[in-house]
Amino acid sequence: MEGTITADDTIGSVRFDFADEVGVQLLPDIVSDPDLMKKLSDATVALGLFMHGAVLQYVKARHPGAIRVEP
């Protein structure tokens, strides 16, 4: 499978293009439980930080040249 991750110089610029679709499919009923939005927001930030760290570790573990970085 191929996927796309885009990023600039900041953590906030990182985009995992597949994640938006997955997130929409998993949304709960926020009308019945409005506090869920805060929990979802916190979870989104935590997930983003986890993914960023996981990708950095993955890239560091690859052989030089195995991953192509494009401007």
How far, in Å, CA of 18 to CA of 53, rounded? 17
Instruction: Report pLDDT for 49.
Output: 93
Asked if the model's pLDDT at residue 1 lies above 70, the reply is no
Of 67, 51, 47, 71, nearest to 59 by C-alpha is 67
Asked if the model's pLDDT at residue 3 lies above 50, the reply is yes
pLDDT in tens, 5-56: 888 888 788 888 777 777 777 777 778 888 888 888 899 899 999 999 998 8
Confidence bin at 2 (pLDDT 50/70/90): low
